[in-house]
Amino acid sequence: MAQQGSSHPLKTSLPETYAAVNAQQPPPSHLYPTQEEQDRYLAGRPGATQQHLEVALQHAQQIQTQKDAEDAILNRILELIELPSSPSADPAAPSQEDTVKLKYSLAPFRPSDYDNLILERNFEDLCGYALCPRKHRRQATGPRGGFQFKYGPKGSGPGGRGRSVDIVSQDRIEKWCSDACAERALWIRVQLSEKPVWERRAGDTRGTTILLLEEARAKRLKAPAATSSVSSVVDDLQSMGLGNRDRSGELALERGDTSLVRPDGRVDVNIRENQGGSQQVAGAPQMRPEDANGGSIEGYVPRERRGADQDGDIDLLDQI
Amino acid sequence: MDGDSAHSMEAEREMTRLWRTFRTVYELLADRGYEVSDNELLLPLEDFRAKYSDPLGYPDRTKMKIQARPTETMKMKYTALPSKANPNPQPDCGTIYVDFCPDSSGVGTKQVRAFNHLVDENNFHTGIFITQTPISPSAVRLLSGVPGRICEHFQEQDLLVNITRHELVPKHVLLSPEEKAKLLERYRLKESQLPRIQISDPVARYLGLRRGQVVKIIRKSETAGRYASYRWVI
């Protein structure tokens, strides 16, 4: 059945390719074997029913969809290698056209597909970030596949002293042209969905709404500022009227406190000393008669001593 | 002076390694059933060096291109049984083309696309792309996605030694469709009831087996002398 499908270009759930198929071949039934073909197929197999054939066809369609999706992803990787459109493009301020293309193309990607894209771009001597026209870094020294120390800025070490040191494998550094591009590219990677595109549901927005790092930063700046001065915090607290007696009573009720809150904000505490305990002072241990031979150990009297006590069982061997 | 000799030593080593790969490729072609002459099979290192080295003594991979035509036996093995729909089947094999990729690192879609184009343009039936390093996953998919043509990939180091000449590897013989039909009839089997062999199996890759073929595996047996088993390629 898959061969049946492959003679026609595409059977797919991707909107773009679906539209293309529909433009070329008006009836979707064209992709299906005709009734006559189905009958002929069933005639040769006595055990098979129409239901079997339909199940088989459905599975074939699903497999075809997967293949189409993988082909589409491959084509998009090939397209994205060509980005950005101008060799002087700035990765920090990409052109509108490239941005739209990148976001559109990345929609069916999984993180592993994105890694393939980065790999392909590096093979073409380009930075792994799709909107960057520069070459990727090349460390001249050291053997390939080694590790390197990477020093952070001054004051980034533990406790704000010295520099932080990372040990990074060389090919991870060499994927990008700069740390900024690495950040941009990986920022996109974490937004991609792990689910393959043919398993995604219609309402799944993860992976389809991708933000570039610059856009995300701009958005965060526009949002109400999280940081504020000390005086504004004080003003805010005062405006809440926490010191107000009635208000605090209300708040206490709201919390579910049952006891009344004292006006000065503290709980009534009475300290009472513990009295009436035994006043006896423990005396020193005294000698008792049974202690002469060492006494018993928790009720057990050792045998040697027991024999001596009872004056019996004299060991004859000792006497001979 | 020292640098020079170190260079020539390295060139010599690379040359020898590539010569072994090159000979394995010819053995592979002969084992698959292509027309290969004895001169090509037993090419000495000196001749190889004279023919394929650049002025610095390093191997020049751009010169190393191989073409071979299938023999009559091979054509017979690759011809499907005549059926009602296709009473006069044509052999599903043709000229093979082997290309050594000269890039020493980073073989991706660009090189594979060029290779695919070359195979398509010259109307080769099969292409074998040999690289020094592994190729990227997208390149693998691109290589296998040429409609109507078969493109395979090997790494040079995979072919350094001919694995089928190892004593622990039993002899694999491809059955023709006719022999396969006879086998199934003799044992009253459906092909899906045979043991299987993966298409990615090293020997299956070496022989270029295709899905649905049956391969006969002949082992030495202490009790029976020879023991044959059959496997369905999947």
Domain assignment present for residue B47? The answer is yes
Helix/strand/coil for A118:
helix
**Same-domain status, B192 and B109:** no
Give yes or no for a cis peptide into A84 (omega within 30° of 0).
Answer: yes
Q: Which residue of B has its CA nearest to A3?
A: B147
**Residue-range domain boundaries for chain A:** 1-81, 87-133+175-222, 137-174
Tell me if B59 is assigned to some domain. no
Mean pLDDT, residues A276-296 taken together: 76
Based on the fold, state whether residues B153 and B171 are members of the same structural domain: no
For residues B146 and B118, membership in a common domain is answered with yes
Does the residue B210 lie in any domain?
yes
pLDDT tens for A102-132 read 888 888 888 888 888 888 888 888 888 888 8
Per-position b or e across B80-113, b if 16+ CB within 10 A of its CB:
eeeeeeeeeeeeebbebbbbbbeeeebbbbbbbe
Q: Which residues, listed in sequence order, are joined to residue B228 by a DSSP beta bridge? A: B218
Minimum-distance CB partner of B106 among A78, A81, A122: A122
Q: pLDDT band for A229, please (50, 70, 90 cuts).
A: confident
Task: Please tell me the number of Cα atoms within 13 Å of A98 on its side-chain side.
Answer: 22
Q: Is residue B9 assigned to a domain?
A: yes
Longest dimension (CA), chain A: 124
pLDDT the model gives residue B91: 84
- Under an 8 A CB cutoff, do B138 and A124 touch? no
Query: Of B110, B137, B145, which is closest to A116 when you measure between CB atoms?
Result: B137
User: Residues near B83 by Cβ (< 8 Å), separated by ≥ 6?
Assistant: B89
Provide the pLDDT for residue A3: 42
Q: Is A70 on the interface with B (CB under 8 A)?
A: yes
Say what the pLDDT of residue B108 is. 83
How do the pLDDT tens digits run along chain B, 234 residues long?
456 677 788 888 888 989 999 999 999 999 998 988 888 888 888 888 888 888 877 888 888 888 888 888 888 888 888 887 788 888 888 889 999 988 887 788 888 888 988 888 888 889 999 999 888 888 888 888 888 888 999 998 899 999 999 999 999 999 999 999 999 999 999 889 999 999 999 999 999 999 999 999 999 888 988 999 999 999
Contact list, B136 vs chain A (CB under 8 Å): 116, 119-120, 123
Task: Find chain A residues with C-beta within 8 A of B109's C-beta.
Answer: 77-78, 81, 120, 123
**C-alpha triplet B123, B125, B127: angle, nearest 5°:** 100
Q: Which residues of A touch B138 (CB under 8 A)?
A: 74, 77-78, 116-117, 119-120
B16 touches chain A (CB under 8 A): no
**What is the reported pLDDT for B171?**
93
Instruction: Kindly tell me if the per-residue pLDDT of A310 is higher than 70.
Output: no
For testing contact with chain A, the best of B83, B104, B138, B142 (most A CBs within 10 A): B138
Percent of chain A whose pLDDT exceeds 90 = 0
Tell whether B101 is within 8 A of chain A (Cβ).
no
Average pLDDT, chain A: 74
Question: In whole angstroms, how far apart are CA B115 and each of A134, B134, B166?
Answer: 27, 16, 31
Please indicate, yes or no, whether residues B143 and B34 belong to a single structural domain of this protein: yes
Whether B134 and B77 share a structural domain = yes
- Indicate which CATH number applies to the domain containing B111: 3.40.1340.10
Q: What is the pLDDT of residue A23?
A: 53
Contact A123 B136 (CB under 8 A): yes
- Report the complex ipTM: 0.75
Q: Of B141, B157, B173, which one is at a domain's C-terminal end?
A: B157
Do B116 and B134 belong together in one domain?
A: yes
Contact B107 A124 (CB under 8 A): no
Query: Which of B106, B110, B136 is nearest residue A116 as measured by Cβ atoms?
Result: B136
B175 shares its domain with B213 = yes
Residues B134 and B31 in one domain: yes
Quote the number of domains for chain B.
2
Q: Are B195 and B202 in contact (CB under 8 A)?
A: no
Task: Decide: B144 and B126 in contact? Cβ < 8 Å.
Answer: no
Per-residue pLDDT at A31: 62
Residue B175: CATH number of its domain: 3.90.940.20
Q: How far apart are CA A293 and CA A315, in angstroms?
A: 20
Greatest mean pLDDT among A2-16, A133-147, B143-157 lies in B143-157
Band (pLDDT 50/70/90 cuts) for residue A8 is: very low
Closest alpha carbon within chain B to A7: B147
Please list the residues that pair with B100 across neighbouring strands: B130
Model confidence pLDDT, tens digit, residues A172-222: 777 888 888 888 888 888 888 888 888 887 777 776 788 888 888 888 877
- The verdict on residue B38 lying in a domain is yes
**Residue of chain B whose Cα is closest to the Cα of A120:** B108
**Does A124 lie at the interface with B, CB-CB under 8 angstroms?**
yes
Domain boundary (B157, B188, B222) is at B157
Q: Tell me how close the Cα of A113 comes to any Cα of chain B, in angstroms.
A: 9
**B217 and B188 share one domain:** yes
A124 CB neighbours in chain B (<8 A) are: 108, 110
* Least confident stretch, A16-30, A85-99, B215-229: A16-30
Same domain as B150, residue B88: yes
A120·B136 Cβ contact <8 A: yes
Question: Under DSSP, is residue B228 helix (H, G, I), strand (E, B) or coil?
Answer: strand
Q: How far is B157 from chain A (nearest CA, A)?
A: 18
pLDDT at A18: 55
Domain ranges, residue B116: 2-53+64-157
Residue B180 lies in a domain: yes
How far is Cα A68 from Cα A20, in angstroms, rounded to an integer? 13
A57 near A93, Cβ under 8 Å? Answer: no
Instruction: Please indicate, yes or no, whether residues B153 and B169 belong to a single structural domain of this protein.
Output: no
pLDDT at A259: 60
What confidence score (pLDDT) does residue A271 get? 83
Reported as half-sphere exposure (CB side, CA atoms, 13 A), residue B147 has a value of: 6
Q: What local confidence, expressed as pLDDT, does residue B193 receive?
A: 92
pLDDT (average), residues A151-170: 75
- If asked whether residues B106 and B208 sit together in one domain, one would say no
The fraction of chain A above a pLDDT of 70, given in percent, is: 74
